[in-house]
């Protein structure tokens, strides 16, 4: 709307005309022009070093700056740049020394305990092996020695008892004969009979002993010895398992003590490293730039300046040292203009410090994702960081300088153009309203890109034709429904100027107020030249 009003003021206001005895308001129009047209994306940017050494804090926790070199100082490699307060780290390192000493003592105790446990396990294993060997020997001794010996002894006793029975039987027979003949008394005969019975009893007892030995004693003794052997074998296996478990427990304790010592030693080394990093030295030659200054120059006003007393968190960037390898221009391009830029496209850079000079460059990098810091300020605004290479050999360029950039997409020496608000899209098809013999006729056109003011019309209109600056909405939609355009031809003519609100422009997308007028305005609003 404001652009249309500006064009009205610049070119004059259409006069009121009389028609049928009544006056109507003037319709703002624009005559199609042909001439030079520049399609570009204007934006602002800043000069930054192409390559730089970034110095960040390597200390853990929040640390206070106790000394910092002045910004802009030209330093040499090895010069002190910044110093943090390391008193707390020194106290922690002294405490960690005691932790390391205790860990070393615990490790020595665990090592000695492992040696003692290993000796006890070996002695217990040897005792169980001896018990198993003795159990095997007892079983073999009884099976191969004691039992055969007793068996032979009992068999010999049976044989002797049998012999004694036979001898006693023969003696009793002779005694009976002598007693019958009167040579022996009855008492002597009864003594021989008693002796025979005793011998038989001895024979039966010998047989019983052999029977008990072979049927009971040997089985009982064999079972007892086998059980003792199995117990000794199980005791050996159990002792072996117990030894393994005990050794593993002691070895696990030893490894834990070793890890404690390693952790304590690493922590001590880390604290020593942190203390050494409390002083930051220049890794290369160059000029000192504070990171906070660079960020504040990019409108990140919430950043606190780097100074004595400021605090820094781990991996916070503190100082930049630019490397003399050239400068680049950093710009922020809105999301709506991404379709107009490509890598390698030319750019024109105007630096505030050098008025009147234009530096040629080219776009070398387009951001993949929107800039997160810009999104924090305005979540609805998506800006993409881009870089432009320029040649600044003949001037002294400093990082942080402000500049205006114009990314040139197309440059036409002779092109047809109209204001962007003249073009509306109905059903996705661009069209303009052309004044044909006093009638406003919608006409389909083929358009190119715009520069936010003028849009390139590639076909559909001629030089000098008048187009409506505030196209209607309702008539445009009705004309599209009644007579859709074919092959770029005109649709149904509108007999009167639009009475409804203005249509949405092809580029800007906002509604503009409508105007009333006759079939042909008495005076036409002329627009200014293209950008």
User: Phi first, then psi: what are they for 416, rounded to 5°?
Assistant: -80, 140
Give the 3-state secondary structure of residue 495: coil
Residue 524 is predicted with a pLDDT of 37
Compute the average pLDDT of residues 419-446.
Answer: 91
Residue 7 is predicted with a pLDDT of 39
CB-count exposure of residue 84 (10 Å: 0-12, 13-18, 19+): buried
Q: Which residue would you say has higher pLDDT here, 475 or 359?
A: 359
Residues 482-504 pLDDT 10s:
444 433 333 334 433 443 333 34
Q: How far apart are alpha carbons 416 and 185 in whole angstroms?
A: 175
The DSSP call for residue 85 is -
Residue 496 is predicted with a pLDDT of 39
Residues 459-484 pLDDT 10s:
999 999 999 998 875 554 444 444 44
Which segment of 19-28, 396-405, 410-419 scores lowest on mean pLDDT?
Answer: 19-28
Q: Say how many Å lie between the first and final Cα of the chain, rounded.
A: 18
- For the cut 90, the answer to whether the pLDDT of residue 247 exceeds it is yes
Residue 378 is predicted with a pLDDT of 76
| Pick from 480, 434, 479: nearest CA to 457 | 434
Residue 23 is predicted with a pLDDT of 42
Q: Which residue would you say has higher pLDDT here, 456 or 7?
A: 456
| Pick from 321, 301, 299: nearest CA to 69 | 321
Q: How far apart are alpha carbons 358 and 169 in whole angstroms?
A: 154
Which residues share a beta bridge with 34? 416
CB 418, CB 32: distance < 8 Å: yes
Residue 508 is predicted with a pLDDT of 38
How far apart, in Å, are the Cα atoms of 286 and each of 74, 274, 348?
6, 25, 29
Residues 148-165 pLDDT 10s:
998 899 899 999 999 999
Residue 4 is predicted with a pLDDT of 38
Residues 184-228 pLDDT 10s:
788 888 888 898 899 899 999 989 988 998 899 889 999 999 999
Q: How far apart are alpha carbons 28 and 470 in whole angstroms?
A: 7
Residue 115: both structure tokens together: 């040696």
Residue 474 is predicted with a pLDDT of 55
Residue 321 is predicted with a pLDDT of 86
Set out the domains of the chain in order of their start, with CATH numbers.
42-85+284-410 (2.40.30.170), 89-275 (1.10.287.950)
Residues 260-314 pLDDT 10s:
999 999 999 999 999 999 999 999 888 888 888 777 666 666 678 888 989 898 8
Q: What share of the chain is helix, strand, coil (3-state, %, to 5)?
A: 45, 25, 30
Q: How far apart are alpha carbons 338 and 380 in whole angstroms?
A: 16
pLDDT band at 427 (very low <50, low <70, confident <90, very high): confident
Q: Residue 504: enclosing H or E segment and its boundaries?
A: none
Which residues share a beta bridge with 55? 319
- For the cut 80, the answer to whether the pLDDT of residue 80 exceeds it is yes
For the chain, what is the mean pLDDT?
81
Residues 7-64 pLDDT 10s:
333 333 333 333 333 344 578 899 999 999 988 888 988 888 877 888 899 888 888 9
| Pick from 317, 276, 274, 278: nearest CA to 85 | 278
Q: How far apart are alpha carbons 334 and 41 in whole angstroms?
A: 9
Q: Calculate the dihedral angle through the C-alpha atoms of 132, 133, 138, 144, rounding to the nearest 10 degrees.
A: 130
Residue 479 is predicted with a pLDDT of 44
pTM above 0.75, yes or no: no
Residue 511 is predicted with a pLDDT of 35
Q: Report the 10 Å Cβ neighbour count for 11.
A: 19
Residue 8 is predicted with a pLDDT of 36
Percentage of the chain modeled with pLDDT above 70: 82
Residue 450 is predicted with a pLDDT of 87
Rg (CA), the chain: 58
Which residues share a beta bridge with 490? 443
Residues 118-141 pLDDT 10s:
999 999 999 999 999 999 999 999
Give the 3-state secondary structure of residue 267: helix
Residue 287 is predicted with a pLDDT of 84
- For the cut 60, the answer to whether the pLDDT of residue 231 exceeds it is yes
Angle at 324 between CA 321 and CA 330, to 5 degrees: 75
- For the cut 60, the answer to whether the pLDDT of residue 526 exceeds it is no
Residue 506 is predicted with a pLDDT of 43
Residue 46 is predicted with a pLDDT of 86
| Pick from 283, 330, 386: nearest CA to 53 | 283
């Amino acid at each position: 709307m404001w652009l249309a009003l500006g064009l009205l003021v610049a070119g004059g206001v259409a006069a009121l005309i009389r028609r049928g005895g009544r006056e109507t308001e003037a319709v703002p129009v624009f005559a199609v022009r042909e001439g030079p047209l520049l399609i570009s994306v204007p934006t602002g940017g800043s000069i930054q070093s192409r390559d730089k050494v970034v110095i960040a804090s390597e200390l853990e926790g929040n640390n206070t700056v106790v000394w910092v070199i002045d910004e802009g100082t030209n330093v040499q490699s090895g010069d002190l740049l910044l110093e943090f307060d390391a008193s707390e780290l020194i106290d922690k390192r002294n405490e960690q020394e005691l932790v390391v000493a205790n860990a070393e003592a615990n490790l020595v105790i665990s090592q000695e305990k492992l040696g003692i446990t290993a000796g006890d396990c070996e002695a217990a294993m040897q005792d169980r092996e001896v018990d198993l060997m003795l159990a095997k020997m007892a079983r073999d001794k009884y099976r191969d020695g004691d039992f055969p010996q007793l068996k032979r002894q009992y068999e010999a006793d049976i044989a002797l008892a049998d012999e004694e029975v036979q001898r006693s039987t023969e003696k009793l027979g002779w005694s009976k004969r002598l007693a019958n003949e009167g040579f022996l008394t009855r008492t002597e005969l009864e003594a021989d009979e008693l002796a025979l019975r005793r011998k038989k009893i001895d024979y039966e007892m010998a047989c019983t002993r052999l029977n008990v030995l072979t049927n009971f004693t040997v089985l009982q003794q064999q079972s007892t010895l086998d059980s003792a052997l199995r117990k000794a074998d199980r005791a050996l296996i159990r002792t072996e398992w117990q030894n393994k478990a005990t050794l593993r427990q002691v070895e696990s304790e030893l490894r834990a003590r070793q890890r404690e010592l390693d952790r304590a030693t690493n922590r001590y080394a880390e604290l020593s490293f942190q203390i050494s990093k409390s002083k930051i030295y220049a890794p290369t030659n160059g000029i000192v730039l504070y990171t906070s200054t660079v960020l504040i120059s990019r409108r990140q006003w919430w950043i606190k300046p780097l100074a004595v007393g400021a605090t820094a968190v781990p991996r916070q960037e503190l100082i930049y040292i630019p490397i003399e390898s050239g400068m680049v221009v950093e710009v922020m391009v809105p999301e709506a203009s991404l379709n107009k830029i490509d890598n390698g496209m030319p750019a024109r850079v105007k630096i505030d410090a050098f008025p009147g000079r234009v530096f040629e460059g080219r776009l070398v990098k387009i951001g993949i994702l929107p800039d997160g810091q810009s999104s924090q300020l305005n979540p609805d605004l998506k800006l993409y960081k881009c870089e432009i290479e320029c040649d600044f050999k003949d001037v002294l360029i400093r990082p942080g300088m402000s500049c205006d950039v114009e990314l040139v997409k197309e440059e036409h020496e002779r092109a047809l153009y109209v204001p962007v608000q003249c073009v509306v899209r109905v059903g996705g098809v661009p069209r303009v309203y052309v004044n044909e013999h006093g009638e406003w006729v919608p006409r389909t056109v083929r358009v190119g890109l715009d520069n936010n003011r003028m849009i390139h019309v590639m076909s559909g209109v001629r030089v000098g034709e008048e187009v409506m600056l505030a196209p209607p909405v309702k008539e445009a939609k009705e004309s599209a429904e009644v007579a859709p355009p074919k092959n770029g031809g005109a649709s149904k003519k509108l007999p009167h100027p639009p009475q409804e609100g203005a249509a949405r422009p092809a580029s800007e997308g906002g509604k503009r107020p409508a105007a009333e007028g006759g079939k042909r305005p008495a005076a036409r609003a002329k627009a200014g030249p293209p950008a």
